[in-house]
Amino acid sequence: MGQQFTHLDEAGNLKMVDISAKVPTERMAVASGEVVMNKKTLVMISEKAIPKGDVFTVAKIAGVVAAKRTAELIPLCHPLQLSAISVEIIPDDSLPGVHVTATVKTNGRTGVEMEALTAVSVAALTIYDMLKAVDKSMTIGEIRLIEKHGGKSGDYQYG
């Protein structure tokens, strides 16, 4: 007996998973990633010397907007009514660079893992965009789900 894929019907056609029978529950997901950059670039951010403006504020806004629009970007994601979204960006001299973390919550029928991962990804891309004029060697990486709570599959904690 083969594995049953949730996004395929019996004939192998793509479909959005039917969640209408699921009971809404509290759901939360945390995702993280990092942007590694030259130490000089990190100093420029802290000194607010970036020509395009306040990097962290713009990236946080971009992450929030991205979480809200995940269903428009990922074809088989359900549009969700999110109850909370937060994006944190923490400088780290040891990278050098920044850690980006997003926490997303809802009371719904499906999880918010993709919304958290999308928020981190777009916040990191926004950081890259705002800094590319001064540092083209940046890398974006280590994007992953850190934890999730709620739903039929239960809780998950990375590592």
pTM reported for the whole predicted model: 0.90
Q: In this model, does residue 69 exceed pLDDT 90?
A: yes
Q: Which domains does the chain have, with CATH numbers?
A: 25-157 (3.30.70.640)
pLDDT tens, residue by residue, 83-126: 999 999 999 999 999 999 999 999 999 899 999 999 999 999 99
Q: What is the DSSP letter of 114?
A: H
Which is catalytic among the residues 9, 129, 135, 155? 129
129 included as an active-site residue: yes
